[in-house]
Amino acid sequence: MGGVWHTAWRRLFFCGWHSFHRGSTARPAERVEPFLRPEWNGIGGAERGLRLLGTWKRCNLGARDPAVQPSRRPKSSNPFRRAQEEEWRRRNKTALTYVAAVAVGMLGVSYAAVPLYRLYCQTTGLGGSVVAGHASDQIENMVPVKDRIIKVTFNADVHASLQWNFRPQQTEIFVVPGETALAFYKAKNPTDKPVIGISTYNVVPFEAGQYFNKIQCFCFEEQRLNPQEEVDMPVFFYIDPEFAEDPRMIKREAGEPQSSRKKRKNCQPGVHGQPVI
Amino acid sequence: MSTAMNFGTKSFQPRPPEKGSFPLDHFGECKSFKEKFMKCLHDNYFENALCRNESKEYLECRMERKLMLQEPLEKLGFGDLIGGKSEAKK
């Protein structure tokens, strides 16, 4: 037992000395090596003894040959375990590469999804999005579907702070799909100051609104009315002939475009008027 | 309906008009044509198909007064009316 203690003391001594004398060129492995020889204190006695004292790990740092790569010290000296750990490390690395590739792939797909979805919507026309092909040649060539008469009612709303009198000049109009139609709204500025307004529209019911195409109207642009001025505002529109072929539209016979006016004065944006349902 | 903030329902997306916006007729240059059109609508119980001539004339007035871009009438859906008019002129 005394021999074991003696060995431990020696090992500790060497470790401490090594850390203080960093510049020393002496190789601690050479110094320790005689203590590791089996004949010193029985086979593996030195190791066993030091391990019991728990100083093995600490001194291991100084005892190793510094020529070995310091960053990749295996945790154990057992060659089989080392091979296994190498295998695990390799497998972890491949798994990590796969996961990183999947993450990058997902990011790419999310970026590509936007134009792809737009393409999809254009071809299938779902969601009421703009379908390419509503050109003026379509208007030229479209044939009115004379047996589906649709009643279009007109409504107008004005934002509370806008002092215009804004109303449709006809409450309803009967059109057929494929036929262009004209409708009028009237706006009057009863105040003594010029007022600028801007309007927008919506169509209810929503599904029918997809077929409602405006060729020209007075919306989306600022319109200025001088004091006491009254103007007629036309809306030139048509209903797409495909309305007649949509199976969802069989029961629909009335559509209702509404115009709402919001006020814009001194470039202050107004609030969209509440449409009436 | 479009102001209801429901996540499930689709909201209406207003589309800009194909040919843009009509400039305002501040001087009422085409007012007589409009009055003719409205009278025709009133008389015919708001049936658009019977008043297409009047609407064509209104748009022609606008085009002459530079209140609307010049467009061949076929492109505005009046192709069937042009043939009749040219025959009447002859």
Same domain, A168 and A226: yes
Please report whether residue A66 resides in a domain. no
- Integer Cα distance of A273 and A261 in angstroms: 6
Of these ranges, A20-24, A113-117, A241-245, the one predicted with the greatest mean pLDDT is A113-117
Of the residues A68, A101, A127, the one at which a domain ends: A127
Chain A residue closest to B71 (CA)? A136
Q: A133 pLDDT band (50/70/90 cuts)? A: very low
Average pLDDT of the residues of chain B: 76
Top pLDDT among A243 and B7 is at: A243
Count of the separate structural domains present in chain B:
1
pLDDT at A188 over 60: yes
Q: Which CATH number covers residue A199?
A: 2.60.370.10
Please report whether residue B46 resides in a domain. yes
Please report whether residue A28 resides in a domain. no
Top pLDDT among A230 and A61 is at: A230
Same domain, A190 and A249: yes
> If contacts are CB pairs under 8 Å, which of residues 244-273 in chain A contact chain B?
272
Nearest in space to A49 (alpha carbons), one of A5, A100, A98: A5
Same domain, A112 and A149: no
Please report whether residue A264 resides in a domain. no
Same domain, A118 and A168: no
pLDDT at A255 over 90: no
- Integer Cα distance of B33 and A39 in angstroms: 123
Same domain, A243 and A188: yes
pLDDT at A3 over 70: no
What is the C-alpha end-to-end distance of chain A, expressed in Å? Answer: 98
Q: A268 pLDDT band (50/70/90 cuts)? A: very low
Chain B contact residues (CB < 8 Å to A): 1-3, 10, 12-22, 24-26, 28, 31, 34, 37-38, 41, 45-49, 52, 55, 58-59, 68, 71, 74-79
Please report whether residue B86 resides in a domain. no
Q: Are A230 and A179 in contact (CB under 8 A)?
A: no
Percent of chain A scored above 90 by pLDDT?
A: 12
Q: Report the DSSP beta bridge partners of residue A223.
A: A197
C-beta atoms of B22 and A218 within 8 A: yes
Same domain, A185 and A147: yes
pLDDT at A271 over 90: no
Report pLDDT for A4. 52
CA angle B17, B23, B28 (to 5 degrees): 130
Of the residues A61, A95, A127, the one at which a domain ends: A127
Please report whether residue B2 resides in a domain. no
Full residue range of the structural domain in which residue B49 is found: 28-70
- Integer Cα distance of A129 and A28 in angstroms: 78
Please report whether residue B80 resides in a domain. no
What per-residue string of b and e applies to B3-40 under the rule 16 or more CB within 10 Å gives b?
eeeeeeeeebeebebbbebbebbeeeebeebbebbbeb
- Interacting residues of A21 by C-beta distance below 8 A, sequence separation 6+: none
Find tokens 């040919």 and name the residue: B19
Burial of A65 (0-12, 13-18, 19+ CB in 10 A): exposed
Please report whether residue A25 resides in a domain. no
Q: Are A238 and B77 in contact (CB under 8 A)?
A: yes
C-beta atoms of A206 and B78 within 8 A: no
Full residue range of the structural domain in which residue A100 is found: 80-127
Please report whether residue A104 resides in a domain. yes
- Interacting residues of A177 by C-beta distance below 8 A, sequence separation 6+: A144, A145, A148, A150, A211, A238, A239, A240, A241, A242, A243, A244
Please report whether residue A183 resides in a domain. yes
Q: Give the pLDDT mean for A110-123.
A: 86
Report the 10 Å Cβ neighbour count for A55: 16
Q: Give the closest of A203, A234, A272 to B22, CB-based.
A: A234
C-beta atoms of A180 and B76 within 8 A: yes
Same domain, A210 and A236: yes
ipTM above 0.90, yes or no: no
Same domain, A120 and A159: no
Q: Are A117 and A109 in contact (CB under 8 A)?
A: no
Report pLDDT for A195. 87
Same domain, A147 and A119: no
Average the pLDDT over each of A72-81, A95-104, A162-171, A265-274 and give the range with the smallest value: A265-274
Distance from CA of B41 to the nearest CA of A (A): 8
Of these ranges, A94-103, A212-221, B70-79, the one predicted with the greatest mean pLDDT is A94-103
Same domain, A190 and A241: yes
Q: Give the pLDDT mean for B63-83.
A: 79
Count of the separate structural domains present in chain A:
2
Q: Which residues of B touch A140 (CB under 8 A)?
A: 74-75, 77, 79
pLDDT at A252 over 70: no
Chain A residue closest to B55 (CA)? A182
Find tokens 């600490």 and name the residue: A58
C-beta atoms of B24 and A218 within 8 A: yes
C-beta atoms of B26 and A221 within 8 A: no
Q: How confident is the model over A65-91, as pLDDT tens digits?
A: 555 555 666 567 788 899 999 999 999
Report pLDDT for A111. 93
Average pLDDT of the residues of chain A: 71
Same domain, A101 and A176: no
Q: A94 pLDDT band (50/70/90 cuts)? A: very high
What per-residue string of b and e applies to A114-151 under the rule 16 or more CB within 10 Å gives b?
eeeeeeeeeeeeeebbeeeeeebebbeebebbeebebe
Q: How confident is the model over B20-63, as pLDDT tens digits?
A: 777 888 888 888 888 999 999 899 888 888 888 888 888 888 88
Average the pLDDT over each of A126-130, A217-221, B44-48 and give the range with the smallest value: A126-130
